[in-house]
Structure 1
Amino acid sequence: MGQRDGRRTRAPYDTGHGTRLTRRGRALVAVLCLAVLLGGGSLAWAAWQNGGDPVRLPWTDGGKPKVPVAESPGDASESPGEVSESPPSRKRDESSVPRAGTGTFATARLTGTPVGTGTLRRYQVQVENGSGIAPDQAATEIQAIVAHPEGWARNGRGRFQLVAEAPDFVIRIASPDTADKLCGEAGLDTEGELNCETGKGVVVNLRRWVLGSPQFAGTPATYRHLIINHELGHALGLGHLGCPGPGRPAPVMMQQIKGLEGCRSNAWPFDANRTYLSGPAL
Protein backbone atom coordinates (compact mmCIF):
# COMPACT_ATOMS: atom_id res chain seq x y z
CA MET A 1 0.00 0.00 0.00
CA GLY A 2 1.25 3.48 -0.77
CA GLN A 3 3.16 2.30 -3.94
CA ARG A 4 2.32 3.47 -7.47
CA ASP A 5 4.44 2.87 -10.59
CA GLY A 6 7.32 1.72 -8.45
CA ARG A 7 7.30 4.99 -6.51
CA ARG A 8 6.21 5.40 -2.90
CA THR A 9 3.41 7.90 -2.43
CA ARG A 10 2.46 9.63 0.82
CA ALA A 11 -0.79 8.66 2.37
CA PRO A 12 -3.07 11.50 3.44
CA TYR A 13 -1.76 13.33 6.58
CA ASP A 14 1.66 11.65 6.32
CA THR A 15 3.99 13.78 8.45
CA GLY A 16 6.91 13.44 6.06
CA HIS A 17 9.03 11.93 8.84
CA GLY A 18 7.93 8.33 8.39
CA THR A 19 5.06 8.62 10.96
CA ARG A 20 1.44 8.68 9.89
CA LEU A 21 -1.21 10.40 11.97
CA THR A 22 -4.03 8.18 13.14
CA ARG A 23 -7.66 9.28 13.01
CA ARG A 24 -7.32 10.29 16.65
CA GLY A 25 -4.16 12.23 15.86
CA ARG A 26 -5.88 14.09 13.01
CA ALA A 27 -8.68 15.08 15.37
CA LEU A 28 -6.11 16.25 17.89
CA VAL A 29 -4.40 18.50 15.34
CA ALA A 30 -7.75 20.03 14.49
CA VAL A 31 -8.48 20.70 18.19
CA LEU A 32 -5.08 22.30 18.73
CA CYS A 33 -5.49 24.55 15.72
CA LEU A 34 -8.90 25.60 16.96
CA ALA A 35 -7.41 26.34 20.40
CA VAL A 36 -4.85 28.67 18.80
CA LEU A 37 -7.53 30.53 16.88
CA LEU A 38 -9.97 30.87 19.81
CA GLY A 39 -7.52 31.27 22.66
CA GLY A 40 -5.22 33.81 21.08
CA GLY A 41 -2.13 31.65 21.67
CA SER A 42 -2.90 30.67 25.28
CA LEU A 43 -1.56 27.42 26.67
CA ALA A 44 -3.07 24.21 25.27
CA TRP A 45 -2.05 20.76 26.39
CA ALA A 46 -2.80 17.50 24.55
CA ALA A 47 -1.76 13.90 25.04
CA TRP A 48 0.27 13.08 21.94
CA GLN A 49 -0.55 9.42 21.58
CA ASN A 50 2.18 8.46 19.05
CA GLY A 51 5.08 9.66 21.17
CA GLY A 52 3.55 9.94 24.64
CA ASP A 53 4.81 13.52 25.18
CA PRO A 54 2.53 16.52 25.64
CA VAL A 55 2.43 19.20 22.97
CA ARG A 56 2.47 22.76 24.26
CA LEU A 57 1.52 25.75 22.18
CA PRO A 58 3.68 28.86 22.55
CA TRP A 59 2.77 31.71 24.96
CA THR A 60 1.91 35.07 23.45
CA ASP A 61 3.54 36.98 26.33
CA GLY A 62 7.07 35.64 26.20
CA GLY A 63 6.37 32.25 27.73
CA LYS A 64 4.94 33.44 31.06
CA PRO A 65 1.50 32.18 32.06
CA LYS A 66 -1.21 34.63 33.02
CA VAL A 67 -2.35 33.56 36.48
CA PRO A 68 -5.76 34.90 37.56
CA VAL A 69 -5.58 36.88 40.80
CA ALA A 70 -8.20 36.03 43.40
CA GLU A 71 -10.19 38.93 44.77
CA SER A 72 -9.78 39.88 48.39
CA PRO A 73 -12.45 38.32 50.64
CA GLY A 74 -12.97 41.73 52.20
CA ASP A 75 -13.98 42.15 55.83
CA ALA A 76 -16.12 39.12 56.19
CA SER A 77 -16.50 38.02 59.78
CA GLU A 78 -14.35 35.04 60.73
CA SER A 79 -15.11 32.50 63.45
CA PRO A 80 -13.54 32.72 66.92
CA GLY A 81 -9.85 31.86 66.94
CA GLU A 82 -9.70 31.92 63.16
CA VAL A 83 -9.25 35.65 62.61
CA SER A 84 -6.91 36.31 59.70
CA GLU A 85 -4.11 38.84 59.72
CA SER A 86 -5.17 42.17 58.30
CA PRO A 87 -3.70 42.80 54.83
CA PRO A 88 -1.14 45.63 54.86
CA SER A 89 -3.25 47.59 52.37
CA ARG A 90 -6.00 47.82 54.97
CA LYS A 91 -3.74 49.35 57.57
CA ARG A 92 -4.42 53.05 57.94
CA ASP A 93 -2.10 55.62 59.40
CA GLU A 94 -3.14 57.13 62.71
CA SER A 95 -2.85 60.57 61.16
CA SER A 96 -6.00 59.72 59.18
CA VAL A 97 -8.00 59.82 62.42
CA PRO A 98 -8.69 63.27 63.92
CA ARG A 99 -7.48 63.59 67.49
CA ALA A 100 -10.34 65.90 68.44
CA GLY A 101 -13.84 66.45 67.13
CA THR A 102 -16.47 69.09 67.71
CA GLY A 103 -17.73 67.60 70.96
CA THR A 104 -21.23 67.41 69.50
CA PHE A 105 -22.96 64.29 68.21
CA ALA A 106 -25.28 63.33 65.37
CA THR A 107 -27.83 60.60 66.08
CA ALA A 108 -28.63 57.71 63.74
CA ARG A 109 -32.28 57.83 62.71
CA LEU A 110 -32.71 54.09 62.25
CA THR A 111 -34.91 51.73 64.26
CA GLY A 112 -34.42 47.97 64.16
CA THR A 113 -36.16 44.79 65.26
CA PRO A 114 -35.44 43.42 68.76
CA VAL A 115 -32.89 40.60 68.80
CA GLY A 116 -32.39 38.02 71.56
CA THR A 117 -34.25 37.02 74.71
CA GLY A 118 -34.74 38.51 78.15
CA THR A 119 -35.12 42.10 79.29
CA LEU A 120 -35.21 44.47 76.34
CA ARG A 121 -32.40 47.04 76.23
CA ARG A 122 -32.93 49.78 73.66
CA TYR A 123 -29.78 51.41 72.35
CA GLN A 124 -29.13 54.46 70.25
CA VAL A 125 -26.06 55.19 68.11
CA GLN A 126 -24.43 58.61 68.03
CA VAL A 127 -21.34 59.71 66.11
CA GLU A 128 -19.26 62.79 66.88
CA ASN A 129 -19.52 65.49 64.24
CA GLY A 130 -16.30 65.85 62.30
CA SER A 131 -15.33 62.18 62.73
CA GLY A 132 -15.98 61.27 59.09
CA ILE A 133 -18.31 58.43 60.13
CA ALA A 134 -21.93 58.48 58.96
CA PRO A 135 -24.30 57.80 61.92
CA ASP A 136 -26.71 55.58 59.98
CA GLN A 137 -23.84 53.57 58.53
CA ALA A 138 -22.35 53.02 62.00
CA ALA A 139 -25.77 52.07 63.39
CA THR A 140 -26.30 49.53 60.64
CA GLU A 141 -22.92 47.94 61.36
CA ILE A 142 -23.49 47.86 65.12
CA GLN A 143 -26.92 46.32 64.64
CA ALA A 144 -25.33 43.53 62.57
CA ILE A 145 -22.71 42.96 65.30
CA VAL A 146 -25.39 42.70 67.97
CA ALA A 147 -27.28 40.16 65.84
CA HIS A 148 -24.20 38.02 65.03
CA PRO A 149 -24.81 34.26 65.59
CA GLU A 150 -21.92 34.11 68.08
CA GLY A 151 -22.93 37.25 69.98
CA TRP A 152 -24.75 37.90 73.26
CA ALA A 153 -28.27 38.24 71.86
CA ARG A 154 -28.26 35.06 69.80
CA ASN A 155 -27.13 32.98 72.77
CA GLY A 156 -29.66 33.98 75.42
CA ARG A 157 -27.61 36.65 77.20
CA GLY A 158 -29.63 39.71 76.29
CA ARG A 159 -32.29 41.32 74.13
CA PHE A 160 -31.33 44.46 72.24
CA GLN A 161 -33.04 46.85 69.85
CA LEU A 162 -31.65 49.75 67.85
CA VAL A 163 -33.86 52.83 68.30
CA ALA A 164 -33.76 56.44 67.19
CA GLU A 165 -35.46 57.83 70.31
CA ALA A 166 -35.92 57.06 74.02
CA PRO A 167 -32.95 54.67 74.42
CA ASP A 168 -31.95 52.84 77.56
CA PHE A 169 -28.30 53.49 76.72
CA VAL A 170 -26.29 55.17 73.98
CA ILE A 171 -23.33 53.92 71.96
CA ARG A 172 -21.17 56.88 71.01
CA ILE A 173 -18.27 56.90 68.56
CA ALA A 174 -16.03 59.76 69.64
CA SER A 175 -12.64 61.21 68.79
CA PRO A 176 -9.83 60.24 71.21
CA ASP A 177 -10.00 63.57 73.08
CA THR A 178 -13.77 63.45 73.43
CA ALA A 179 -13.68 59.78 74.41
CA ASP A 180 -11.17 60.59 77.17
CA LYS A 181 -13.46 63.34 78.45
CA LEU A 182 -16.61 61.20 78.46
CA CYS A 183 -14.87 58.21 80.04
CA GLY A 184 -13.06 60.49 82.50
CA GLU A 185 -16.40 61.73 83.81
CA ALA A 186 -16.99 58.15 84.96
CA GLY A 187 -13.53 57.98 86.58
CA LEU A 188 -11.97 55.98 83.75
CA ASP A 189 -8.60 56.80 82.18
CA THR A 190 -8.68 55.80 78.51
CA GLU A 191 -5.38 57.50 77.54
CA GLY A 192 -6.58 58.50 74.08
CA GLU A 193 -6.58 54.83 73.07
CA LEU A 194 -9.29 52.86 74.84
CA ASN A 195 -13.06 52.45 74.81
CA CYS A 196 -15.25 52.41 77.91
CA GLU A 197 -18.67 51.67 79.36
CA THR A 198 -19.80 54.38 81.74
CA GLY A 199 -23.08 53.09 83.15
CA LYS A 200 -24.87 55.56 80.90
CA GLY A 201 -23.67 53.94 77.74
CA VAL A 202 -20.72 52.88 75.63
CA VAL A 203 -17.98 55.20 74.37
CA VAL A 204 -16.06 53.91 71.35
CA ASN A 205 -12.72 55.54 70.60
CA LEU A 206 -12.72 56.63 66.94
CA ARG A 207 -9.09 55.50 66.57
CA ARG A 208 -9.99 51.95 67.54
CA TRP A 209 -13.12 51.97 65.35
CA VAL A 210 -11.16 52.99 62.27
CA LEU A 211 -7.74 51.38 62.82
CA GLY A 212 -8.43 48.34 64.97
CA SER A 213 -5.75 47.33 67.45
CA PRO A 214 -2.05 46.50 66.88
CA GLN A 215 -2.47 43.52 69.22
CA PHE A 216 -5.46 42.11 67.35
CA ALA A 217 -4.74 39.76 64.44
CA GLY A 218 -7.66 40.77 62.30
CA THR A 219 -9.16 43.54 60.22
CA PRO A 220 -10.52 46.75 61.78
CA ALA A 221 -14.03 45.62 60.80
CA THR A 222 -13.56 42.42 62.80
CA TYR A 223 -12.09 44.35 65.71
CA ARG A 224 -15.27 46.42 65.82
CA HIS A 225 -17.09 43.22 66.78
CA LEU A 226 -14.77 42.94 69.76
CA ILE A 227 -15.34 46.58 70.77
CA ILE A 228 -19.13 46.29 70.79
CA ASN A 229 -19.24 42.80 72.33
CA HIS A 230 -16.78 43.75 75.08
CA GLU A 231 -18.63 46.92 76.07
CA LEU A 232 -22.05 45.25 75.85
CA GLY A 233 -20.65 42.59 78.17
CA HIS A 234 -19.97 45.32 80.71
CA ALA A 235 -23.52 46.61 80.19
CA LEU A 236 -24.71 43.08 81.04
CA GLY A 237 -22.75 43.26 84.32
CA LEU A 238 -19.70 41.21 83.29
CA GLY A 239 -16.15 42.00 84.40
CA HIS A 240 -12.79 41.43 82.80
CA LEU A 241 -11.37 37.97 82.15
CA GLY A 242 -7.86 36.66 81.53
CA CYS A 243 -6.44 34.24 78.98
CA PRO A 244 -7.62 30.64 79.65
CA GLY A 245 -4.43 29.14 78.20
CA PRO A 246 -1.86 29.46 75.41
CA GLY A 247 -3.31 28.98 71.95
CA ARG A 248 -6.92 29.25 73.09
CA PRO A 249 -9.33 31.98 71.91
CA ALA A 250 -9.14 35.09 74.06
CA PRO A 251 -12.44 35.82 75.86
CA VAL A 252 -14.35 38.85 74.63
CA MET A 253 -14.20 40.20 78.18
CA MET A 254 -10.40 40.11 78.09
CA GLN A 255 -8.72 43.48 77.46
CA GLN A 256 -7.06 42.20 74.32
CA ILE A 257 -5.64 45.59 73.39
CA LYS A 258 -3.34 45.30 76.42
CA GLY A 259 -1.90 41.98 75.25
CA LEU A 260 -3.10 38.44 74.53
CA GLU A 261 -0.92 36.51 77.05
CA GLY A 262 -0.60 33.62 74.60
CA CYS A 263 -4.25 33.52 73.59
CA ARG A 264 -5.49 33.99 70.04
CA SER A 265 -7.42 37.06 68.96
CA ASN A 266 -11.17 36.59 69.18
CA ALA A 267 -14.07 38.98 68.68
CA TRP A 268 -17.12 36.92 69.76
CA PRO A 269 -18.50 35.83 73.16
CA PHE A 270 -19.46 32.36 71.88
CA ASP A 271 -18.02 29.92 69.38
CA ALA A 272 -19.86 28.24 66.51
CA ASN A 273 -21.02 25.48 68.91
CA ARG A 274 -22.67 28.09 71.18
CA THR A 275 -20.02 27.54 73.85
CA TYR A 276 -19.19 30.59 75.97
CA LEU A 277 -15.54 31.51 75.61
CA SER A 278 -14.51 32.26 79.17
CA GLY A 279 -11.33 32.68 81.17
CA PRO A 280 -10.11 33.35 84.71
CA ALA A 281 -11.80 36.28 86.44
CA LEU A 282 -9.63 39.31 87.11
Structure 2
Amino acid sequence: MTTRTARSSRGRRRGGSSHAVARGRSYKGPFWGALAALTVLGAAGFVAVDAGSSGTGVRSGPTERARAGRLGSTAPTSAPPTASASASASPSPHTSPTPTPDIPATGPGTFITAAGGSGAVGSGTVLRYRVDVETGINLPPTDVARQVDRILADPRGWTADGRSAFERVSSGPADFVVRVATPGTVDKICGQYGLDTGGEVNCDVAKNVMVNLRRWLLATPVYAHRVKDYRALIINHEVGHFLGHGHVGCPGAGRPAPVMMQQIKGMHGCLPNVWPYDDRGRYVTGPAVS
Protein backbone atom coordinates (compact mmCIF):
# COMPACT_ATOMS: atom_id res chain seq x y z
CA MET A 1 0.00 0.00 0.00
CA THR A 2 1.14 3.50 -0.79
CA THR A 3 1.09 6.02 2.01
CA ARG A 4 1.22 9.75 1.77
CA THR A 5 4.13 11.51 3.42
CA ALA A 6 3.11 12.97 6.77
CA ARG A 7 2.81 16.73 6.74
CA SER A 8 4.09 17.58 10.19
CA SER A 9 6.65 19.88 8.65
CA ARG A 10 3.98 21.92 6.90
CA GLY A 11 2.60 24.76 8.94
CA ARG A 12 -1.09 25.45 8.72
CA ARG A 13 -3.08 28.31 10.07
CA ARG A 14 -6.78 28.47 9.96
CA GLY A 15 -9.47 29.33 12.37
CA GLY A 16 -12.34 26.95 12.86
CA SER A 17 -10.42 23.79 12.51
CA SER A 18 -6.83 24.90 12.50
CA HIS A 19 -3.36 24.46 11.17
CA ALA A 20 -0.08 26.03 12.00
CA VAL A 21 2.47 28.12 10.24
CA ALA A 22 0.92 27.76 6.80
CA ARG A 23 -2.34 26.03 7.38
CA GLY A 24 -4.97 27.67 9.51
CA ARG A 25 -7.44 30.29 10.51
CA SER A 26 -8.85 31.05 13.90
CA TYR A 27 -12.53 31.29 14.63
CA LYS A 28 -12.90 34.87 15.74
CA GLY A 29 -16.63 35.46 15.47
CA PRO A 30 -19.26 35.37 18.25
CA PHE A 31 -19.72 31.60 18.26
CA TRP A 32 -22.93 31.32 20.22
CA GLY A 33 -24.40 34.36 18.50
CA ALA A 34 -23.86 32.62 15.19
CA LEU A 35 -25.44 29.47 16.54
CA ALA A 36 -28.43 31.42 17.78
CA ALA A 37 -28.90 32.73 14.28
CA LEU A 38 -28.71 29.19 12.95
CA THR A 39 -31.30 28.11 15.48
CA VAL A 40 -33.72 30.53 13.87
CA LEU A 41 -32.77 29.21 10.45
CA GLY A 42 -33.29 25.71 11.77
CA ALA A 43 -36.94 26.33 12.39
CA ALA A 44 -37.40 27.27 8.78
CA GLY A 45 -34.95 25.22 6.81
CA PHE A 46 -33.79 22.14 8.70
CA VAL A 47 -37.01 20.28 9.37
CA ALA A 48 -37.04 18.31 6.11
CA VAL A 49 -33.45 17.11 6.35
CA ASP A 50 -32.93 13.37 6.84
CA ALA A 51 -30.68 11.76 9.43
CA GLY A 52 -27.79 11.71 7.02
CA SER A 53 -27.65 15.47 6.72
CA SER A 54 -25.82 18.08 8.72
CA GLY A 55 -23.62 21.14 8.63
CA THR A 56 -19.88 21.61 8.52
CA GLY A 57 -16.84 23.14 10.15
CA VAL A 58 -16.24 26.83 10.55
CA ARG A 59 -13.39 29.19 10.45
CA SER A 60 -13.49 32.92 10.39
CA GLY A 61 -11.69 36.08 11.29
CA PRO A 62 -9.99 38.92 9.50
CA THR A 63 -6.75 37.00 9.08
CA GLU A 64 -8.41 33.83 7.88
CA ARG A 65 -7.15 32.34 4.62
CA ALA A 66 -8.78 29.73 2.43
CA ARG A 67 -6.84 26.52 1.95
CA ALA A 68 -4.53 26.44 -1.01
CA GLY A 69 -5.57 24.25 -3.85
CA ARG A 70 -8.71 23.97 -5.89
CA LEU A 71 -11.60 21.77 -4.90
CA GLY A 72 -11.65 18.75 -7.11
CA SER A 73 -7.89 18.82 -7.66
CA THR A 74 -6.35 15.42 -8.26
CA ALA A 75 -3.88 15.63 -5.39
CA PRO A 76 -3.91 17.05 -1.87
CA THR A 77 -2.50 20.53 -1.49
CA SER A 78 -1.25 22.10 1.67
CA ALA A 79 -3.15 24.94 3.25
CA PRO A 80 -3.33 26.91 6.46
CA PRO A 81 -4.77 25.45 9.75
CA THR A 82 -8.37 25.98 10.73
CA ALA A 83 -10.57 26.18 13.78
CA SER A 84 -14.11 25.02 13.25
CA ALA A 85 -17.53 24.43 14.60
CA SER A 86 -20.32 22.68 12.76
CA ALA A 87 -24.08 22.96 12.69
CA SER A 88 -26.91 21.11 11.01
CA ALA A 89 -30.41 19.71 11.14
CA SER A 90 -33.04 20.66 13.67
CA PRO A 91 -34.03 18.38 16.56
CA SER A 92 -37.11 16.21 16.35
CA PRO A 93 -40.01 17.74 18.29
CA HIS A 94 -40.64 14.28 19.79
CA THR A 95 -37.15 13.80 21.19
CA SER A 96 -36.66 14.34 24.91
CA PRO A 97 -33.79 16.61 25.93
CA THR A 98 -30.63 14.77 26.96
CA PRO A 99 -29.09 15.78 30.31
CA THR A 100 -26.06 17.98 29.81
CA PRO A 101 -22.91 16.01 30.66
CA ASP A 102 -20.29 17.38 33.00
CA ILE A 103 -17.52 18.47 30.64
CA PRO A 104 -14.19 19.34 32.24
CA ALA A 105 -12.76 22.67 31.12
CA THR A 106 -9.32 21.21 30.62
CA GLY A 107 -7.35 17.98 31.04
CA PRO A 108 -3.81 16.67 31.47
CA GLY A 109 -2.92 16.93 27.79
CA THR A 110 -2.00 13.24 27.59
CA PHE A 111 -3.78 10.78 25.30
CA ILE A 112 -4.83 7.17 25.05
CA THR A 113 -4.73 5.59 21.58
CA ALA A 114 -7.63 3.38 20.49
CA ALA A 115 -6.46 -0.22 20.22
CA GLY A 116 -6.69 -2.29 17.07
CA GLY A 117 -7.22 -0.95 13.62
CA SER A 118 -9.35 -1.15 10.51
CA GLY A 119 -8.89 -2.58 7.06
CA ALA A 120 -8.17 -0.11 4.28
CA VAL A 121 -11.27 1.43 2.70
CA GLY A 122 -11.36 3.25 -0.62
CA SER A 123 -8.95 3.16 -3.52
CA GLY A 124 -5.85 5.16 -4.27
CA THR A 125 -3.39 6.58 -1.78
CA VAL A 126 -3.84 4.98 1.63
CA LEU A 127 -3.80 7.46 4.50
CA ARG A 128 -3.13 5.87 7.85
CA TYR A 129 -4.80 7.53 10.81
CA ARG A 130 -4.84 7.05 14.56
CA VAL A 131 -7.60 7.91 17.04
CA ASP A 132 -6.58 9.37 20.42
CA VAL A 133 -8.74 10.40 23.38
CA GLU A 134 -7.49 12.63 26.17
CA THR A 135 -6.81 10.85 29.46
CA GLY A 136 -9.48 11.11 32.16
CA ILE A 137 -12.47 12.33 30.14
CA ASN A 138 -14.52 9.14 30.49
CA LEU A 139 -14.82 8.59 26.77
CA PRO A 140 -13.87 5.08 25.56
CA PRO A 141 -11.25 5.39 22.79
CA THR A 142 -12.54 2.25 21.05
CA ASP A 143 -16.04 3.76 20.82
CA VAL A 144 -14.70 6.99 19.33
CA ALA A 145 -12.56 4.98 16.89
CA ARG A 146 -15.53 2.93 15.70
CA GLN A 147 -17.46 6.10 14.93
CA VAL A 148 -14.56 7.67 13.06
CA ASP A 149 -14.03 4.42 11.13
CA ARG A 150 -17.68 4.39 10.03
CA ILE A 151 -17.57 8.02 8.95
CA LEU A 152 -14.45 7.61 6.84
CA ALA A 153 -15.73 4.35 5.32
CA ASP A 154 -19.15 5.72 4.38
CA PRO A 155 -19.73 5.58 0.59
CA ARG A 156 -20.75 9.25 0.69
CA GLY A 157 -17.43 10.19 2.29
CA TRP A 158 -14.03 11.12 0.86
CA THR A 159 -13.35 7.64 -0.51
CA ALA A 160 -15.91 8.46 -3.21
CA ASP A 161 -13.32 10.68 -4.90
CA GLY A 162 -11.61 7.53 -6.20
CA ARG A 163 -8.23 8.79 -4.99
CA SER A 164 -8.39 8.51 -1.22
CA ALA A 165 -8.26 5.47 1.03
CA PHE A 166 -8.09 5.28 4.82
CA GLU A 167 -6.78 2.74 7.30
CA ARG A 168 -6.76 3.11 11.08
CA VAL A 169 -3.67 2.00 12.97
CA SER A 170 -2.80 1.96 16.66
CA SER A 171 0.97 2.01 16.28
CA GLY A 172 3.60 2.92 13.73
CA PRO A 173 3.51 5.89 11.32
CA ALA A 174 0.24 7.78 10.90
CA ASP A 175 -0.55 10.45 8.31
CA PHE A 176 -3.00 12.17 10.63
CA VAL A 177 -4.44 11.74 14.11
CA VAL A 178 -8.03 12.39 15.21
CA ARG A 179 -7.84 13.62 18.80
CA VAL A 180 -10.83 14.25 21.08
CA ALA A 181 -9.82 16.51 23.95
CA THR A 182 -11.11 18.96 26.52
CA PRO A 183 -11.67 22.56 25.42
CA GLY A 184 -8.55 23.73 27.27
CA THR A 185 -6.32 21.14 25.67
CA VAL A 186 -7.71 21.90 22.21
CA ASP A 187 -7.05 25.59 22.82
CA LYS A 188 -3.48 24.86 23.90
CA ILE A 189 -2.58 22.64 20.94
CA CYS A 190 -4.31 24.84 18.38
CA GLY A 191 -2.85 27.93 20.00
CA GLN A 192 0.65 26.63 19.37
CA TYR A 193 -0.09 27.29 15.70
CA GLY A 194 -1.61 30.73 16.26
CA LEU A 195 -5.23 29.59 16.27
CA ASP A 196 -7.82 30.91 18.71
CA THR A 197 -10.42 28.19 19.32
CA GLY A 198 -11.92 30.00 22.30
CA GLY A 199 -12.80 26.87 24.26
CA GLU A 200 -15.57 26.18 21.79
CA VAL A 201 -14.43 24.99 18.37
CA ASN A 202 -12.32 22.35 16.65
CA CYS A 203 -9.11 22.79 14.74
CA ASP A 204 -6.87 21.13 12.17
CA VAL A 205 -3.17 21.67 12.75
CA ALA A 206 -0.13 19.84 11.40
CA LYS A 207 -1.13 16.15 11.53
CA ASN A 208 -3.80 16.70 14.20
CA VAL A 209 -7.55 16.87 13.71
CA MET A 210 -8.44 18.31 17.12
CA VAL A 211 -12.02 17.71 18.22
CA ASN A 212 -13.38 19.73 21.13
CA LEU A 213 -15.05 17.40 23.66
CA ARG A 214 -17.87 19.89 24.10
CA ARG A 215 -18.68 19.75 20.40
CA TRP A 216 -18.35 15.94 20.30
CA LEU A 217 -20.85 15.52 23.15
CA LEU A 218 -23.20 18.46 22.68
CA ALA A 219 -22.88 19.38 18.99
CA THR A 220 -24.51 22.81 18.58
CA PRO A 221 -27.98 24.09 19.56
CA VAL A 222 -29.44 23.40 16.11
CA TYR A 223 -27.98 19.91 16.03
CA ALA A 224 -28.24 18.87 19.67
CA HIS A 225 -30.55 15.91 18.99
CA ARG A 226 -28.57 14.58 16.02
CA VAL A 227 -25.15 14.48 17.59
CA LYS A 228 -23.81 11.53 15.58
CA ASP A 229 -24.55 13.35 12.34
CA TYR A 230 -22.75 16.36 13.74
CA ARG A 231 -19.72 14.19 14.46
CA ALA A 232 -19.67 13.12 10.83
CA LEU A 233 -19.71 16.79 9.93
CA ILE A 234 -16.67 17.52 12.09
CA ILE A 235 -14.61 14.63 10.74
CA ASN A 236 -15.54 15.13 7.08
CA HIS A 237 -14.89 18.86 7.17
CA GLU A 238 -11.53 18.61 8.90
CA VAL A 239 -10.30 15.63 6.90
CA GLY A 240 -11.43 17.53 3.81
CA HIS A 241 -9.03 20.29 4.78
CA PHE A 242 -6.32 17.71 5.34
CA LEU A 243 -6.90 16.48 1.79
CA GLY A 244 -6.42 20.01 0.49
CA HIS A 245 -10.00 21.24 0.10
CA GLY A 246 -10.84 24.84 0.89
CA HIS A 247 -14.07 26.53 1.87
CA VAL A 248 -16.89 26.96 -0.62
CA GLY A 249 -20.23 28.71 -0.56
CA CYS A 250 -23.85 27.67 -1.05
CA PRO A 251 -24.48 26.53 -4.65
CA GLY A 252 -28.10 27.70 -4.60
CA ALA A 253 -31.24 27.90 -2.48
CA GLY A 254 -32.77 24.52 -1.66
CA ARG A 255 -29.64 22.59 -2.60
CA PRO A 256 -27.49 20.59 -0.15
CA ALA A 257 -24.78 22.60 1.53
CA PRO A 258 -21.27 21.38 0.64
CA VAL A 259 -19.44 19.78 3.55
CA MET A 260 -16.69 22.36 3.00
CA MET A 261 -19.14 25.25 3.36
CA GLN A 262 -18.91 27.23 6.61
CA GLN A 263 -22.47 26.42 7.57
CA ILE A 264 -22.04 27.88 11.04
CA LYS A 265 -22.02 31.30 9.41
CA GLY A 266 -25.46 30.73 7.89
CA MET A 267 -27.04 28.37 5.38
CA HIS A 268 -27.74 31.06 2.77
CA GLY A 269 -30.67 29.05 1.45
CA CYS A 270 -28.86 25.70 1.36
CA LEU A 271 -30.01 22.61 3.21
CA PRO A 272 -27.69 21.08 5.82
CA ASN A 273 -25.53 18.17 4.65
CA VAL A 274 -22.63 16.31 6.29
CA TRP A 275 -21.30 14.27 3.38
CA PRO A 276 -18.87 15.29 0.60
CA TYR A 277 -20.76 13.18 -1.97
CA ASP A 278 -24.45 12.44 -2.41
CA ASP A 279 -26.12 9.04 -2.71
CA ARG A 280 -25.46 9.00 -6.45
CA GLY A 281 -21.73 9.62 -6.05
CA ARG A 282 -21.84 13.27 -7.11
CA TYR A 283 -19.52 15.70 -5.36
CA VAL A 284 -21.44 18.36 -3.45
CA THR A 285 -19.66 21.66 -3.89
CA GLY A 286 -20.23 25.36 -4.49
CA PRO A 287 -18.41 28.54 -5.47
CA ALA A 288 -14.93 28.91 -3.99
CA VAL A 289 -14.62 31.23 -1.01
CA SER A 290 -11.36 33.12 -0.62
The TM tier, using the shorter chain, reads 0.5 to 0.7
Pair 1:184–1:149, CA change in 2 (3 A): same
Q: Against the structure 1 CA distance between its residues 209 and 141, is the aligned structure 2 distance closer, same or farther, given a 3 Å change threshold?
A: same
Aligned to 1:101: 107
Aligned to 1:86: 91
Q: Point out which structure has higher relative CO (alpha carbons under 8 A, 6+ apart).
A: 2
- Paired letter, 1:152: W
Moved more, 217-226 or 197-206: 217-226
- In the alignment, structure 1 segments of 5+ residues that lack a partner are 1-76
* Whole-Å separation in 2 of the counterparts to 1:259 and 1:217: 17
How far the C-alpha of 1:134 sits from its partner, in A, is 0.5
8 Å CA contact 2:255, 2:271 repeated in 1: yes
For residues 127-146 of structure 1, the aligned pairs below 5 Å read: 127-146=133-152
- Alignment correspondent of 1:266: 273
- Shift in Å at residue 206 of structure 1? 0.7
C-alpha distance in structure 2 between counterparts of 1:241 and 1:253, whole Å: 6
CA distance in 1, matches of 2:147, 2:113: 14
- Cα separation, 2, equivalents of 1:134 and 1:90: 23
Q: How many residues align?
A: 205
Which structure 2 residues correspond to residues 116-265 of structure 1 after superposition, within 5 A? 116-166=122-172, 167-216=174-223, 219-265=226-272
* CA deviation vs aligned residue, 1:164-216 (integer Å, no higher than 9, x gap): 01212111001111111111112222111111111222001111111112244
Q: Distance in 1 between matches of 2:112 and 2:123?
A: 29
**CA shift for structure 1 position 227:** 0.4
CA RMSD of aligned residues (A): 2.2
- Per the TM alignment, residue 274 of structure 1 is displaced from its structure 2 partner at its CA by 0.7
Structure 2 counterparts to residues 52-71 of structure 1, below 5 A: none
Superposition TM-score, scaled by structure 1 size: 0.67
TM-score, normalised with respect to structure 2: 0.66
Identity of aligned residues (%): 49
More divergent stretch after superposition (219-228 vs 250-259): 250-259
Alignment check: 8 A CA contact 1:180 1:190 kept: yes
Unaligned runs of 5+ in 2: 1-49, 56-87
